[in-house]
Chain A
Amino acid sequence: MGTIAGAQQILAGLKAAGIDLVSSVPDINMLQLINLLYEDKEIAHVPVGREEEGIGVCAGAHLGGKKPAMLMQNGGLLNSCNGLTTTALQFGIPVLLLIYYAGDIGDNAFHMVGLVTEPVLQGLGIKYIVMRDPTKVKQDIAGAVTLANSSKRPVALLLTRGVL
């Protein structure tokens, strides 16, 4: 589920980094964060049915002047690979990918998804940070958004339970 304090810290980090639209597909570990997004008035929340749709929504949102992020589980990262490649990377779209790292060390579900997550990001040429330290949440989000904007590419944050 995550903790309310963890979710509040991530939401504050997103706002401080200028993110103003979040598209999402849920995961149980991000429940608190998603609940906050449903209530928040400053960030437009755009739930979608499948993660690749969300990559399209984020790309369109950027073209229209928003600062988008896509919130999903790493299984959704796998669902998004063509959209990330032929839309986000091929058109040079900055988008923050907030990915729950299922199957990470200490997580008891989806170990196969966890196994391929980092190699897939490396194969796509998407830089990422594995977030384990709650004291660095704001700094990691700000750094990822800065790089996404300057490189005009997706940048990923892999969220573990340590920061949720």
Chain B
Amino acid sequence: MKRFECLQAIAAMINDELFVTTAGGATAEWNGVRPSDGNIQVKTLGLCSSIGLGIAIALPKRKVFIFDGDGALWMNLGSLATIGLHQPKNLIHICWDNRQYESSGGEPTAATAGNIDFAGMALNAGIKSSCSVTTVDELKQAVSHALSHDGPHFIWARIEAGRTVAPPLKYDELENKYRFVRYVEETEGIDILRVPMPASYLLK
């Protein structure tokens, strides 16, 4: 299965869930398939799983998706243990495994040799809802289960290499952050960014 057809299938299943997408091809493809202020891009390879965990802890009633990659997950494998420790019920962590650093030119990752079982690692880190999928139908079943059951969930999506041409992101990271935070404020009914009153207004 190709990542792009998987993303199209997920887009048809979701509403206002939040999406944290790795420094890699999944970000442009996902924003092409589902443009939304509820998507936040990540620029630090590996950190999407930690950022997603932070959002999930801050907003425990909101479903949070992480789109990770095999190279990125390799860089931050410890995040599986941390997610297993904290058990965020609202977290859905998908690793798009194309067995290469595609955005860096296709070099091999730890997954290339075929020895790694990411789903088994997640399971043994304490993430009880963990599975491996190789077809779009299996992926849809796994996402459907994750959307309707408490997690944390981990889905090891074993995809073909190859990117689909997607438009460049419309917003840089700062604008993306502001739009994402404003979207969270509006949909959660909370204040996150408040500008203080100028000091002159506070004089008596």
Contacts and interface: CB of A to CB of B under 8 A. Distances in A.
Interface residues of B, dominant DSSP: helix
A83 B43 CA distance: 9
Interface in B51-68: 51-59, 62
B192 interface: yes
Contacts of B48: 56
Given A66-B58, A92-B177, A60 B44 contact: no
Interface in B18-74: 20, 40, 42-44, 47-59, 62
Interface residues of B, number: 39
Nearest to A53: B50
Contacts of A23: 54
Contacts of A54: 50
A154 to B, nearest CB: 14
Interface residues of A, number: 33
A64 B59 contact: yes
Interface residues of A, dominant DSSP: helix
Interface string A23-67: 100000000000000000000101111101111111111111110
A9 interface: no
Contacts of B188: 65
A60 B20 contact: yes
B130 interface: no
A150 interface: yes
Contacts of A62: 54, 58, 192
Interface string B159-190: 00000000000000110110011001100101
A61 B58 contact: yes
Contact of B47 (A46, A56, A66, A92): A56
13 contacts: A23-B54, A54-B50, A56-B47, A56-B50, A60-B51, A60-B54, A61-B54, A62-B192, A63-B55, A64-B57, A65-B184, A65-B192, A92-B177
Task: Give the 8 A-B CB pairs with smallest separation, nearest first.
Answer: A60-B54, A64-B58, A56-B50, A57-B54, A60-B55, A60-B51, A56-B47, A61-B54
